Structures are given as C-alpha cells and as structure tokens.
C-alpha cells in the first residue's frame, strides 16, 4: 500500500507527489491528471409552447431492452426454391443463358442438382459432337440440326423451373 502516488512530470518525467502543483525537479507546472469530463449539454428546456413531443421524453432505464424484431419471412424469396436454396427463376435464367454458350446444366448445378447438371453438360457436348460429325458426313446438310440447338437450353431451363416448382 503506497503512501502516495507519483505523477510523472509532463516536462521532464520525474515523479512527483500527487497534489503538488509544480515539478520538484524542473519546476514545470504539473497538470492535473486528465479526467476529461464528457461534454454533457444540459437538456433543452421543455418547450412549453409546443405540443407535447413524445420523443423528447427519456426512456425509462428498465425499458432499454428492445425485443427482437419480428421474423421477417418476406426476406425469403416468395417464389419456389431449389435444393440449394436459390431462386428457381435465377437458376432457370442461368441455365438458359449458360446453355446458349454451350454450357448446358449450369443452372442445375446452381440449383443443387450437381450430378444432373454435369450429365446435361456432358450429354450436350456429346450431342454437339455428334451433330458436327453428322453435318460433316451429310456434307453440311445435317448442320440444319443446329437450328434447334438454342431451343434445348430453354427447354432445360423450363424443365428446371417445373421440377422445383412442383417440390
């Protein structure tokens, strides 16, 4: 238990007994240990001329507990969801758009049906390869089959949508 606490001089650093006004070593004035008083502006006087303002009334201390906000089911997309919890509409759009670029089944993978998506992707590539070979064999006549190619992603997307809409 110390008899007194020393206050370091802000100028030379020498320890000085608490309560002394000046440093015993260099004579610099010892600042009072900084205890910043938080600025507490006085509450505005009640405006007697205005109508009662319920917001101006301080809340009682016991009511600081705010009950949790009611669970908002609206944050969940209202539409049907896929196995991966994504929106079926989003998965369908991904399936169609990616399918146009030759990546059929991406929407299925996005929807959580990874195996089905990979199967569609490989199957689609196999069909394209067969179609190319067929076009070569038929001297380009078989290339007309590619006119139907853009339809497949749309069908796959609609299939995806109907699959998850039922479940």
List of residues contacting Zn ion (CB under 5 A)? 9, 11-12, 14, 23, 25-26, 28
Does an H or E element contain 106, and which? helix 106-110
Q: Which is nearer to Zn ion, 11 or 116 (CB)?
A: 11
Tracing tokens 């997307």 back to the chain, one arrives at 157
Least distance from Zn ion to the Cβ atom of residue 6, Å: 12
Least CB distance to Zn ion at residue 21 (A): 12
Structure tokens at 97: 């758009």
What is the Rg, in whole angstroms, of the alpha carbon atoms belonging to the chain? Answer: 38
β-bridge partners, 17: 6
Least Å distance, CB 3 to Zn ion, is 21
Closest to Zn ion by CB, 26 or 32:
26
Give the residue with the Cβ less far from Zn ion, 23 or 94.
23
C-beta closer to Zn ion: residue 16 or 163: 16
Shortest Cβ distance from residue 67 to Zn ion (Å)?
57
Residue 37, phi-psi category: left (phi > 0), alpha (psi -120 to 50), beta (remainder): beta
The answer to whether residues 11 and 23 touch, using CB atoms and an 8 Å cutoff, is yes
DSSP run (H or E) holding 131: helix 114-137
């Amino acid at each position: 238990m110390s008899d007194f606490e020393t206050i370091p001089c802000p100028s030379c650093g020498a320890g000085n007994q608490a309560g002394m006004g000046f440093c015993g070593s260099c004579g610099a004035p010892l600042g009072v240990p900084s205890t910043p008083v938080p600025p507490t502006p006085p509450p505005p006087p009640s405006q007697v001329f205005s109508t009662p303002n319920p917001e101006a009334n301080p809340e009682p201390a016991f009511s600081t507990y705010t009950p949790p906000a009611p669970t908002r089911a609206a944050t969940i997309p209202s539409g049907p969801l896929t196995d991966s919890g994504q929106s079926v509409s989003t998965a369908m759009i991904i399936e169609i758009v990616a399918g146009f670029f030759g990546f059929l089944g991406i929407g299925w993978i996005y929807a959580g049906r990874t195996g089905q998506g990979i199967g569609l992707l490989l199957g689609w590539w196999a069909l394209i390869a067969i179609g190319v070979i067929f076009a070569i064999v038929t001297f380009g006549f078989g290339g007309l089959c590619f006119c139907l190619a853009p339809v497949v992603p749309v069908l796959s997307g609609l299939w995806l949508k109907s699959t998850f809409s039922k479940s």
